[in-house]
Amino acid sequence: MHLIRRPDIAPSEITPRDTWLDRRSFLGGAAAGAAALASGGLLAPLAAQAATAPREKLAGVKKSNWTVAETLTPYQDVTTYNNYYEFGTDKADPAENAHTLKTRPWTVRVEGECAKPATFGIEDILKLAPLEERVYRMRCVEAWSMVIPWVGYSLSELLKRVEPTGNAKFVEFATLADPQTMPGVRGRVLQWPYVEGLRIDEAMHPLTLLTMGVYGEVLPNQNGAPVRLVVPWKYGFKSAKSIVRIRLVEKMPVTAWNRSQPSEYGFFSNVNPEVDHPRWSQAKERRIGEFRKRDTLPFNGYAEQVASLYTGMDLRKWF
């Protein structure tokens, strides 16, 4: 999927297009450049739609103890520099194209190995448990990262309502695939719909967030509205967007990227600086808004919370 003409140049080494376009103003004055770097605001708006789209606050959002004390990635960057291939493969495409996504009405069907399968409307989902703001590190497999204040609650709150059976070993997530509103679905980049999965203990872990907002506001379309997954210790593609179906299953589901390129995208995809992508190192990452690279943290810095889930596993084999 990643088109690289020179294998010795990793995507993480390539200056983002928006930063490159802004290079003259950056070089025009050291003070202005330093201020922009300090604020993380080097990425200019990539789409008029994203800049002018209505922004709606979420009511009753509480601060959570699940947080990291790090500088937040600016809202502008979070909402205009995205991977969401249903709307295009360029980082700017989702912000430009996702205005066509219709998020009301919206339902999520939860079924499979559970005693009480159910269909939840988005309004029901928003009221199912108290909404929390959790500041999570997010790490993309392409070696860039952000710090994002997501809004939602633990996925386990939803899963407990359907009462998983003893046969529920994994959880499969299927996302919307509508060729009428999603131009990328008309292409053959991946097999649609986009499918992701977690082991049941990963899905039930309190860090795994069912997400309906960001920066205290309703989730923008380009970020996976109206409801998505956020799994902060895994690479970003594991956090499925615009979810329409959740299935509890006995066997490991076949996921979108693992199906497409199994040598590059394993089922678990835990952030691991010791396991390189076949075409670039994962030992370093570049935080959006910064030029200097930083060390990649095992499990994206969440080892204390989640490493025990993988006791006895060879994380090079089960990458």
3.40.50.300, 3.90.420.10, 3.40.630.30, 3.30.1330.10: CATH of 11-310? 3.90.420.10
pLDDT surpassing 80 at residue 297: yes
Residues 213 and 150: beta-carbon distance below 8 Å: yes
Q: What angle do CA 174, 179, 181 make, to 5 degrees?
A: 95
The confidence score (pLDDT) of residue 50 equals 55
Ordered by start, the domain boundaries in the chain are 11-310
Q: How far apart are the first and last CA of the chain?
A: 19
Question: How is the chain split among helix, strand and coil, in percent rounded to 5?
Answer: 30, 25, 50
The confidence score (pLDDT) of residue 54 equals 77
E strands of the chain, at which residues?
A: 62-63, 107-112, 118-121, 132-139, 144-154, 170-175, 195-199, 209-214, 217-218, 228-230, 243-249, 284-287, 294-295
Q: Nearest to residue 290, comparing CAs of 66, 52, 70, 36?
A: 36
Band (51; pLDDT cuts 50, 70, 90) = low
Residue recorded with tokens 């088109």: 3
Q: Is 53 helix (H, G, I), strand (E, B) or coil?
A: coil
Least confident of 20-34, 155-169, 295-309: 20-34
E strands of 242-283, at which residues?
A: 243-249
Residue recorded with tokens 């390539």: 14
229: left (phi over 0), alpha (psi -120 to 50) or beta: beta
Q: What is the mean pLDDT of the chain?
A: 88
Between CA 218 and CA 179 the distance in angstroms is: 24
Contacts of 217 by beta carbon, 8 Å cutoff, 6+ apart: 55, 56, 57, 58, 151
User: What is the tens place of the pLDDT at every residue in 195-252?
Assistant: 999 999 999 999 999 999 999 999 999 999 999 999 999 999 999 999 999 999 999 9
Region 69-83 average pLDDT: 97
Buried b (16+ CB within 10 A) or exposed e, 175-196: bbbeeebbbbbeeeebebbbbb
- Counting residues of the chain whose pLDDT is more than 70, the rounded percentage is 83
pLDDT surpassing 60 at residue 76: yes
User: What is the tens place of the pLDDT at every residue in 2-38?
Assistant: 333 333 334 434 444 444 334 333 333 333 333 333 3
Number of residues assigned to the chain: 319
H helices of 48-105, in order, are 48-52, 75-80, 93-97
User: What is the tens place of the pLDDT at every residue in 30-49?
Assistant: 333 333 333 344 445 554 45
pLDDT surpassing 90 at residue 253: yes
pLDDT surpassing 50 at residue 91: yes
